[in-house]
Amino acid sequence: MSTKFTDQKARERICNDLDTSLIVEAAAGTGKTTALIGRILSGIVNGRVRLSNVVAVTFTEFAAGELKLRLRSAIEEARQQHTSTDADRFLRQAVEELEEARIGTIHAFCGDLLREHPVEAGIDPLFEVAPDDLTYPLFSLAFEKWFEKQLANPDEGVRRILRRLPRRELGGKRTAILSKRPRDIGPKPLLRRAVLELLKERDFTAKWRNSERFDRDAEIDALVGEIQQLGEWSDTGDPGQYLTQSLKYLKHFAAEITRPESLGQPRDYDGIEAHLFGLLSGWRSKAWKAYYARKDTFPADELRRRRDDLILRVQEFICRAGADLAPKLREELWPVIEE
């Protein structure tokens, strides 16, 4: 007795509805390969399909080999079951054409097409598909070549990423992680991971766009002004109170990000942006929720409100700066994909 599935009608349609192109989405182990073999076999038996005209591709050599073996077994089994002369002739022909069928990996199929049309593709007809163990070294070589050029004269997006601080990723654990795995943090690994993510989407070549107008420098000027003003109140409050300590942190932060200006240099917007990405991770959690004993000269409620509003503004800035940076960075990283 054959097993009946809850989606049996859909499975039967895959096998029998040969006039319709279908997309099948299902989890691993649910029978996609079996359904594919059934569809191919149905086309062969009905004389609708010649195996030499079939393309069946998968991701791995192992899966492709298994698909071909299972298809051969299914054809042989069908020959035992079908008694009609036409069906037997079609199935016998399929066995003879099995080795001619394009049943293999995606990259093998693409390689065959390119070898048949090297002039149209603009490639060397003697090219070879890189084996899996060479894929990452080739990527690393292309990335390092690109990165060296960027270090000499970085584009805007890369330049902004290069200023990012480890604290953005590591938060309070950055010291421990820095001491253990220094190569896994910082701008370069961040850029490398970004390229690897783009590789997954390399078939989607449309340029990214940020639909929102974003004046980064003006946003930074406003945030720096508020940080400086809040920081100045730390000299008035009780140093034992967490609210005062959080304002003291802001005062030190403001001094750090404006140090070049105190030396007569122009405002370092890239550097301040990088520091703002790490601002919230450096704040002690108790300071966010701190209460304060009231003092007439210290408007605690107002300062707490302004401080909390600053948190939200910094978070919004981080989101908008990221959205502004993404399209730029995508264009600047794309040469690694093309390499």
Question: pLDDT (tens digit, 9 = 90+) per residue, 196-220?
Answer: 888 888 777 888 888 788 999 999 9
Is pTM beyond 0.75 here?
no
In this prediction, residue 281 carries a pLDDT of 67
Amino acid at site 158: V
Domain boundaries, the chain: 8-121, 133-200, 216-323
**What is the C-alpha to C-alpha distance for residues 208 and 283, in angstroms, rounded to an integer?**
34
In this prediction, residue 299 carries a pLDDT of 83
Decide yes or no: CATH 3.90.1300.10 for domain 8-121. Answer: no
SS3 170: helix
Residue ranges of the chain with pLDDT lower than 50? 1, 167-184, 285-288, 291-293, 296
In this prediction, residue 323 carries a pLDDT of 92
State the DSSP string of 209-241. ---S---HHHHHHHHHHHHHHHHHGGGTS-TTS
In this prediction, residue 283 carries a pLDDT of 59
The pair phi, psi for residue 303, each rounded to 5°, is: -65, -40
